[in-house]
Structure 1
Amino acid sequence: MLYGIISDLHSNLEAVRAVIEEGKKLGIQKYICLGDIVGYNANPKEVIDIVRDELQPIAVIKGNHDEYVSQENELIGFNPQAAQAVQWTREQLTLDDRQWLYSLPMTKNLWQLKTTIVHATLDSPEAWGYIFDKYYAENSFSYQRLPYCFIGHSHVPFAYEQIGGAKGVIQAGRYEQIRLNPNHKYLINVGSVGQPRDGDNRAAFCSFDTDERVVTLHRVEYDIETTQKKIYEAGLPERLALRLQVGR
């Protein structure tokens, strides 16, 4: 079975559509979504509808923007641009959309795939911490009961491999393709569909071939100019449009 694993779609309709088209070419059969369906860009309702009604993933979990948008909490501690985007997104969604986002779980074990999914970290998923190096990864590995864990949140594709059990060596680095070895643990960030931050402005997602035990990173070009135009027309912060061009 070939699965598509997507994360951090961030209301970017053009990027989502491009990824779906690429998925068809690859022969992806089912999808898994790691959260942050909304936020930053200008098509939150359309992207939610695609995820819920078109892709119908076997599993969807909650990202921090999904959490913020689904509630009415005051946005304390946010930078002004993020706060503006969250408030604007709240106003674009129906009550049903927001209740659906609110109902999403923080983590999920996919036992048949030997896989755990979480948006941020396994040790404290509700705190929305980042995994930036092997020391942060070690904390999540200590909570990881299944061999494979896929994450998002940082918008940077990166992989960690733990060899030799709980006290074993952790290797880390960027990747294009990973063959999953027996008796190793893996923590794999699949990057961002809707707002890449690794210096590559193309949409990012992964495929997971469960028969061959291979994870492959894919990059897809999309119509950035249209996405930017929508951001300007919605009155969202200019920086949200500019950063798409440079992938930062």
Structure 2
Amino acid sequence: MDKKIEHLGKLSGKVLLFGGVYSNLQALEALKRVAESENILPENCICTGDIVGYCSQPEETVQLFKLWHAKSIAGNVEIQLSNEAEDCGCDFKKGSRCDGFSQQWYPYAQSKLSKSSLEFLKPLPDHIEFNYAGKKVTIVHGSYFNTSEFIFKSTPWNTKKSNFDVTKSDVIIGGHCGLPFYHEKENKLWINPGVIGMPANDGNPNVWYTILNDKNETFNFKHHSLKYNYKLTNKLMQNDILPKEYARTIVTGIWDNTEILPAIESGLQGFGIQL
């Protein structure tokens, strides 16, 4: 199937990058305030996908995203929702805890989304491309080849390199794995800006995003942590339908399990983000 790629041309000024809103309305509201305080235009605010996910307000989150006029690619969740699929397509191991949790939150999200929200999600592109400070940038969810592929900092460079080769990009912005990182090699740069819907398994309820800056016509980036009203998010998730374990993670900053993580990232649980 042909990929749908949105070409934005040349961007300038600050660019706000984030992923995994995961139906966390309070985090999205806080990030929108950051964009406004930094004078970042909505068209320079780009999500790596999974606007919908684990938290309690999928409909409200999609509607706020729509009103904001920020941009996004389709994550695996948007693809599955658009196809009326029965699971989230996260590529969790069958029978794992994450797989079990998805059987709770995904049907909940499906049941809450309006026709208007589904119509907004359905045409989202697979990838976004733009030029920035003399570099070609491509946005992917998991990888260019597989929306649900988990790419971490410890993932071998050859796996990342194939994405640069096929897209002819200098910079790739990835999502899906839930952890912020960057990996630079051979004059290529892979950035995961982090997600705002869930903490990064670092023992802190704050979440993560990244801002690009083209000051002096050079490519600059910086990861930032985001404070938001996580206590309200946690309270709203106490509804006897959503996994209590995810509600707990919102407060503790610690994932219920590390099934998807490679050994290196698993060993860093609770030790803070190493950038």
Q: TM-score, normalised by structure 2?
A: 0.75
- 1:193 is matched with 196
The alignment partner of 2:79 has SS state of helix
Which residue, out of 225, 228, 239, partners 2:231? 225
Matched, 1:156 2:179: yes
Q: Tell me, yes or no, if the aligned pair for 1:137 and 1:160 is still in contact at 8 Å.
A: no
Aligned length: 224
Contact 1:118 / 1:125 at 8 angstroms: preserved in 2?
no
SS in 2 for 1:8: coil
Distance in 1 between residues matched to 2:198 and 2:81, nearest whole Å: 17
Q: Residues 125, 105 of structure 1: CA spacing in aligned structure 2 closer, same or farther, 3 A cutoff?
A: farther
Once the two structures are TM-superposed, the CA of residue 224 in structure 1 deviates from its matched residue by 1.3
* Aligned positions of 1:1-248 closer than 5 A: 1-29=13-41, 30-54=44-68, 56-57=69-70, 59-75=71-87, 77=94, 79-111=99-131, 114-122=136-144, 124-126=145-147, 128-132=148-152, 133-135=154-156, 136-163=159-186, 184-199=187-202, 200-211=204-215, 212-233=218-239, 235-247=241-253, 248=255
Q: What percentage of aligned pairs have identical amino acids?
A: 24
CA contact (8 A) 1:42 1:234 kept: no
Instruction: Give the Å deviation of 1:219.
Output: 0.6
Q: Which stretch of the first structure deviates more once superposed, 29-38 or 131-140?
A: 131-140
DSSP-derived class of the 1:233 partner: coil
**1:38 partner letter:** V
CA distance in 1, matches of 2:240, 2:24: 13
Partners of 2:108 and 2:241 within 8 A in 1:
no
Contact 2:22–2:198 under 8 Å retained in 1: yes
Q: What amino acid maps onto 1:69 in structure 2?
A: L
The unaligned stretches of length 5 or more in structure 1 are 164-183
Deviation per CA, 1:46-74, whole angstroms, max 9, x where unpaired?
111122112x12x3101112222333223
Amino acid paired to 1:101: L
For residues 26 and 221 of structure 2, what CA distance do their matches in structure 1 show?
A: 24
Aligned partners of 1:162, 1:144: CA distance in 2, in Å?
A: 16
SS in 2 for 1:79: helix
Question: Could you tell me how far apart the structure 1 residues matched to 2:34 and 2:121 are?
Answer: 26
C-alpha separation in 2, matches of 1:196 and 1:70: 26
| Distance across 1 between alignment mates of 2:14 and 2:121 | 26
Instruction: Please identify, of 91-100 and 131-140, the stretch whose mean Cα deviation from structure 2 is larger.
Output: 131-140
Partner of 1:177: none
Give yes or no for contact 1:193–1:205 (8 Å, CA) kept in 2.
yes
CA distances 1:172-220 after superposition (whole Å, capped 9, x unpaired)? xxxxxxxxxxxx2111000011112231321211111134421111111
Aligned-residue Cα RMSD (Å) equals: 2.0
* Contact map agreement 1:36 1:64 (CA 8 A) in 2: yes
Q: Give the aligned residue type for 1:222.
A: Y
Q: Residue type matched to 1:152 in 2?
A: G
Q: Specify the code of the residue in structure 2 equivalent to 1:20.
A: K
SS at match of 1:125: coil
* 2-structure distance, mates of 1:201, 1:139: 34
For residues 104-125 of structure 1, give each alpha carbon's deviation from its aligned partner in whole angstroms, at most 9, with x where no partner exists.
1221212466210011112x13
